[in-house]
Structure 1
Amino acid sequence: MKRSAWRYLWMSEDIRKKLLITVGLLILYRLLSNIPVPGIDREVIRSLAQQKGAAGNLINLLDLLSGGTVSNFSILAMGVYPYITAQIILQLLVPIIPALERRLKDNPREGQAWMEKWTVILTIPMAALSAIGQINIFNSMLGSGVSVLKNYGFTGAALIPTLTTLLSMIAGTMIGIWLGQLISEYGIPNQGLSLIIFAGIVSRMPTNLGRVLADKTNGWWMLIVIIAILLLTIFAIVYVQQGRRNVPVLFPGRRIGNRMSMPVTSKLPLMVNMAGMIPLIFAQSILTFPAIVSSYFMSEKTVEWLRNFATGVYHTFGGGNAWYAVLYFIMVVLFTFFYTDVLFTQQNYGENLKKQGAQIPGVVRGAPTQKYLNKVQRRITLPGAVFLGLVAVLPYIVGSILPSGAASSSGLLLVSSAGLLIVVGVVRDTFTIIETELKVHGYDESLIKG
């Protein structure tokens, strides 16, 4: 009896187990995201959720990175954001510190294990700083005398409750990272953290959809506009993600007995967008950091000039303005080039092709081949990087075009354009991995068709 791919997917015990583990861990993560931190004032949180402007936009950005847990200030309110920040810091240090670069090149497997270990270690202080920053940001939005926590402070009787809150938030972040690593190890390979962020974005969409429809004046026509934009954006994302530049490669002939086979011409496919959704997450992580730091200096106790400067930084990096959109676009483009360079250098095509005796026609083997491929990869990365930047700032473009009365209804786009790239990327990567798993377990589309 012939079986379809989906039926084979479920009937394969190993693949079925991986899928069930992945779904189970994602459900567990969403359940944990509803556990509030100790001492949270829910009435204050509800009032914050209704704020607009830079404050509301910053909450939305943090909510995206945390997987929708900032809005209810749960123990997972920071999501995996501190881990991503730690990854960025270490990856930026690799090309700067020669010893780190040598460690990764000389023994890639041991070097990656070392990077993973120190990423987790660095996550702890990053989580502590982020927890304090988030609380300060929320308090600065409320004004003096009001706090999201009923007993918050680092002096007197408030010290122990405050430390308890911070420890619970740090522990929540580590649990989120641990669940992501479990998914990557026992569920869908290498997709743990991406799927956690993906689940948070998808869980927010019904709420945002209801918010758009609640607008009696512009709701339905805004919904039509949003759906049209989303469909066009999805098409464009898939089209760009499929883009390839095929570089011809000549493999030498092989000796078979006393005969020599003819050389074989093949192709090396280079992706237009090799970095995927990572630059978007990196850019958002970096851009929210100044807002978090500036929140420490916005209290009435701070000297006036520093408080004014911190307030300006906070409003600039809080989102919802033209400067933020420009910075966001530039950061996405730069991180696309940076992350593509890091990935492409690690693959070291020049040396690998040289070991196989292969050669790109007209290019010397070894280092010149790697240099040539780097040049080609950077050239084709440019349109991919610009496209990612445009998708990232799509809400700001749409908001400037729409009438002022309808611009507020486009809140769904803030999640969907930035989040949509992540959603489409995760779905594509997940299906690619599942397809690979099917082939590994004996599924052949030419032989098994539904």
Structure 2
Amino acid sequence: LTVGLSAAQAVGYVFLFRSQGQSAGSPVFTSFNPGSVLLVVLCLTAGCVLLMWMGELITQRGIGNGISLMIFASIVSGLPQAISAWWTNPDPVFKVIMPFMALGVIAAIVFIQEGQRRIPVQYAKRVIGRRMSSGGQTYLPLRVNMAGVIPVIFAASIMAFPPTVGQLIPGAEGLATFFSPNGWAYIVGETIFIILFTYFYTAVTFNPVDQADNLKKYGGFIPGVRPGRPTAEFLDRILARLTFPGALYLAAVAALPTILINQTSANFYFGGTSILIVVGVALDTMKQLEAQLMMRNYEGFLK
């Protein structure tokens, strides 16, 4: 999927650069032939695969999700430009409201990202060898947004495909215009893909049947729910109730800046997708750092 998307976008960018160079009077390609196009597409695709490999290395040997951290660094690198654009904005109302709006959106993202439904779990007493292990009560945390920012990244990648096709195929420029990032078609399409990918990724990361089997294996049960299949059905029902509002939250935050741009004509440097990625990656990385510190008996910085 990565190679296919990167190759398709690379072809689209080649024709985009060519058209922009011709319109500006300074051609990007001195000789535009199939060989040069193939070479540029291969270089761009190889660069994308190299970044994916580096991201996997960071995930395996470092802290946090490698791809998310690389996207995080790319977004944060544009922060000085965003601050400069905000400071030089001629609209005084926008200049005053924008910081409070950004803080409100960030606070809402943190609140939803950290929100969870705690399912009580009771462990019965067990005999291990000659010892009697005491039972106890704990909880199983089910987050409102278990998929994180992955659905937003996937949806943005898919929605970048129609404009690429519009730039690639002669006479299909209307497709790129119809799916422009500030258009309603783009917002609706991105919302649908975010909801679909949220359900898909949640189902991949959390399996109620496996969780119920693990609870039964270690003598755990949910009070009022029989172990085994009834527990899996109970967890699946709770997860479905949490996933839908979580998907709507992701779609709303991703579409909010675009809607504000269409209604107020104000220029927002950071989109909702960028804010979601930055806040989500920062929270996940901070939790993993905290876990590493606690594993080594150091005092964590989250108290």
**TM over 0.5, yes or no?**
yes
Q: 1:330 to 1:164 in 2, by over 3 A?
A: closer
Q: Secondary structure at the match of 1:410?
A: coil
Q: 2:242 aligns with which of 357, 380, 384?
A: 380
**Residue 431 (str. 1) matches residue 303 (str. 2):** no
Length, aligned pairs only: 302
**Residue 151 (str. 1) matches residue 33 (str. 2):** no
**Corresponding residue number in structure 1 for 2:46:** 171
Residues 10 and 45, structure 2, Cα contact 8 Å, conserved in 1:
yes
Letter matched to residue 275 of structure 2: L
- Structure 1 Cα separation of the partners of residues 54 and 128 of structure 2: 51
The worse-fitting range, judged by mean Cα deviation, of 225-234 and 436-445 is 436-445
Residues 349 and 370, structure 1, Cα contact 8 Å, conserved in 2:
yes
**Corresponding residue number in structure 1 for 2:110:** 238
- Structure 1 Cα separation of the partners of residues 9 and 66 of structure 2: 22
Q: Structure 2: any 5+ residue segments left out of the alignment?
A: none
Letter matched to residue 62 of structure 2: G
Post-superposition offset of 1:164 = 2.7
Letter matched to residue 43 of structure 2: S
**Corresponding residue number in structure 2 for 1:317:** 179
Residues 287 and 328, structure 1, Cα contact 8 Å, conserved in 2:
yes
Query: Aligned runs of 1:204-283 on 2, under 5 Å?
Result: 204-215=78-89, 217-218=90-91, 220-255=92-127, 263-283=135-155
Cα-Cα RMSD = 2.8
**Corresponding residue number in structure 2 for 1:127:** 6
**Corresponding residue number in structure 2 for 1:180:** 55
**Residue 349 (str. 1) matches residue 211 (str. 2):** yes
Post-superposition offset of 1:364 = 2.8
Q: Structure 1: any 5+ residue segments left out of the alignment?
A: 1-85, 87-122, 300-306
- Structure 2 Cα separation of the partners of residues 419 and 349 of structure 1: 33
Residues 288 and 318, structure 1, Cα contact 8 Å, conserved in 2:
no
- Structure 2 Cα separation of the partners of residues 256 and 353 of structure 1: 17
Post-superposition offset of 1:168 = 2.0
Q: 1:125 to 1:245 in 2, by over 3 A?
A: closer
**Corresponding residue number in structure 2 for 1:363:** 225
Q: 1:261 to 1:248 in 2, by over 3 A?
A: same
Percent identical residues: 37
TM normalised by structure 1 equals 0.61
Post-superposition offset of 1:142 = 6.7
- Structure 2 Cα separation of the partners of residues 279 and 148 of structure 1: 38
Residues 208 and 235, structure 2, Cα contact 8 Å, conserved in 1:
no
Post-superposition offset of 1:416 = 4.0
Q: 1:336 to 1:228 in 2, by over 3 A?
A: same
Q: 1:292 to 1:147 in 2, by over 3 A?
A: farther
Residues 140 and 295, structure 1, Cα contact 8 Å, conserved in 2:
no
The worse-fitting range, judged by mean Cα deviation, of 313-322 and 249-258 is 249-258
**Corresponding residue number in structure 2 for 1:28:** none
**Corresponding residue number in structure 2 for 1:198:** 72
Q: 1:338 to 1:148 in 2, by over 3 A?
A: farther
- Structure 2 Cα separation of the partners of residues 392 and 428 of structure 1: 18
Letter matched to residue 124 of structure 1: V
Residues 328 and 389, structure 1, Cα contact 8 Å, conserved in 2:
yes
Query: Aligned runs of 1:25-174 on 2, under 5 Å?
Result: 86=1, 123-139=2-18, 149-151=28-30, 153=32, 158-174=33-49
Query: Aligned runs of 1:413-424 on 2, under 5 Å?
Result: 415-424=270-279
Q: Secondary structure at the match of 1:342?
A: helix
Q: 1:152 to 1:438 in 2, by over 3 A?
A: farther
Letter matched to residue 443 of structure 1: Y
- Structure 2 Cα separation of the partners of residues 329 and 207 of structure 1: 28
Q: 1:128 to 1:265 in 2, by over 3 A?
A: same
Q: 1:367 to 1:256 in 2, by over 3 A?
A: closer
Q: 1:346 to 1:368 in 2, by over 3 A?
A: closer
**Residue 338 (str. 1) matches residue 193 (str. 2):** no
Residue-by-residue CA offset, 1:52-86 (whole Å, 9 max, x unaligned) = xxxxxxxxxxxxxxxxxxxxxxxxxxxxxxxxxx2
Q: 1:326 to 1:125 in 2, by over 3 A?
A: closer
Q: Secondary structure at the match of 1:320?
A: coil
- Structure 1 Cα separation of the partners of residues 166 and 43 of structure 2: 24
**Residue 394 (str. 1) matches residue 256 (str. 2):** yes
Post-superposition offset of 1:229 = 1.1
- Structure 2 Cα separation of the partners of residues 364 and 321 of structure 1: 50
Residues 247 and 270, structure 1, Cα contact 8 Å, conserved in 2:
yes
- Structure 2 Cα separation of the partners of residues 439 and 223 of structure 1: 42
Q: Secondary structure at the match of 2:160?
A: helix
TM normalised by structure 2 equals 0.88
Q: 1:356 to 1:257 in 2, by over 3 A?
A: closer
